[in-house]
A and B are shown apart, each in its own frame.
Chain A
């Protein structure tokens, strides 16, 4: 196996970070599939990228976008805002108890 293969433990750590509950068989399957993909991605390491600027934005070079003026625009009413909420209390979104 290549150095990029993913252990089950790592799969679980990532799933927790991504807030995804995975069934045990999914953990197994993802470990294998993600390892295969990462092994393919290893080929990027062949390239010498020293001194290369990352292309973090795809916008055309030299275009400086106009910024929004600081003026209030109409928004949503609380009813519109909450229309799709799975649960609400008054005009707040309701969630299970948050413990700090």
Chain B
């Protein structure tokens, strides 16, 4: 196949909305949703006469991110205006950073197929988000402009073209997402667009020394779409080159419905952004003392945390990786483990629940870990109920689901749903006798040596007791009665 003859080269530009209360240059709330133009003021509307006033938290979050990624933090960085006309850009320019960004260099670690590597960063800079154009607002086909998002702070994190496959790009983005979430600078929500990514994709014949012409792909708001878009784009470019064509440098939009990228006509006009230093904002001065304070405040990063989970708690690389992908989940894990017990066995149990049943529920409801009704204490309580033999596995699953949905106390759920196990041999004996009496042929087979029928009997007893029988007690009773 032709694609194999080509090397894919990818660089990602990630835009991460910062978790500040207010916009980057004015005191408007960054809260989402609501009617158009409900979080606006003269500054973010770009009215005549306004001036930007820089949010301190934005600088701190940028430096924090830079330090976590091993970037060099510039003691003095400069704002620039990027000039272009678009209805969602109120001033006719975006305030960004150009020649002297706040962070340079650095790297993002990733693991692919068990191999660890790092992807180099070019830079990280701060900028303001644009507003939102709303299409077809009225019968005449007009568009609308909502400036609630205009001026929300963004970090743009630009990688070197170090990525060599769609899988690698996805792993890079996962790793970066876990880091910015761990830092508390971004909520990781790709669906709502608070973490967005553009991909610069090119292909070159294996062995060639120069990169091919790249296309910039936009609008990929999930890991799956990122993979699809890159895979499609690589096939498109290879087919183009194979058939003697040339890749044109352009911006292409990913269409998730068709799984294709297509050329953006409106962006065809050659860009000339006329960058120049923003005269309304003095350079950003980052004092060494601030850097040291922010460095000291850095939380444990996902990779270190995963390593600790493996070495200190004996978790598998897979479980550890899953837990640290979302700092809130990892925090939940730590708290639940502290509430439950110590050692590798306890850790394994907590991890299994979190990456299994709880993850399934979270996925299904779309709820972020921070807002779960299931608390670490409640999960620990469920595990203790299992350990005490009060509930069995199936019962525990039901309890967790109920607690996850309602926040009820596990003990109360056990009681209300009657999920407590029956461990009293006297109470279970009748059920065992009944099953043995109803299945004389199987009893005979078992006596003549088919010992694997034990499982069959256990299952029947469980059925008879609606799952409430303690399997260990049932087993003991069977052994006694069948004489095995």
Report which A residues bind B (CB closer than 8 A). Answer: 17, 19, 56-59, 63-65, 67-76, 78, 81-82, 87, 89-100
Contact = CB atoms under 8 A, between A and B. Distances in A.
A70 B61 CA distance: 12
B56 interface: yes
B37 A92 contact: yes
Given A59-B282, A93-B144, A94-B137, A100 B264 contact: yes
A95 B272 contact: no
A92 B282 contact: no
Contacts of A95: 87, 142-145
Contacts of A65: 282
A67 B39 contact: no
B184 interface: no
Contacts of B135: 97-98
Contacts of A94: 137-138, 142-145
Please name the 3 residue pairs, one residue from A and one from B, whose CB atoms are nearest each other, closest first.
Answer: A73-B27, A92-B144, A75-B41
Given A70-B55, A75-B27, A92-B36, A98 B279 contact: no
Contact of A81 (B27, B29, B37, B138): B37
Nearest to B21: A70
A89 B22 contact: no
A98 B41 contact: no
16 contacts: A56-B78, A57-B282, A73-B22, A73-B26, A73-B28, A73-B41, A75-B26, A75-B39, A75-B44, A76-B42, A78-B36, A89-B138, A92-B145, A94-B143, A94-B145, A99-B265
B85 interface: yes
B250 interface: no
Interface of B: 20-22, 26-29, 35-42, 44-45, 53-57, 59, 78, 85, 87, 133-135, 137-138, 141-147, 253, 264-266, 272, 274, 277, 279, 282-283, 285
B397 to A, nearest CB: 43
A77 to B, nearest CB: 8
B22 A71 contact: yes
Contact of B266 (A17, A69, A100): A100
Contacts of B57: 70
Contacts of A73: 22, 26-28, 41
Contacts of A99: 265-266
A52 to B, nearest CB: 15
Contact of B21 (A56, A71, A100): A71
A98 B137 CA distance: 11
B27 A68 contact: yes
A70 B137 contact: no
B133 A98 contact: yes
A49 B403 CA distance: 71
A90 B22 contact: no
Contacts of B56: 67-70
B265 A72 contact: no
Residue in A58, A72, A74 with the greatest tally of chain B CB atoms within 10 Å: A72
Contacts of A59: 282
A72 B22 contact: yes
Nearest to A19: B85
Contacts of A72: 21-22, 27-29
Nearest to A73: B27
A93 B132 CA distance: 11
Contacts of A89: 137-138, 142, 144
A58 B56 CA distance: 22
A57 B279 contact: yes
A98 B87 contact: yes
A99 B277 CA distance: 31
A97 B137 CA distance: 9
Contacts of A100: 253, 264-266
A63 B141 CA distance: 51
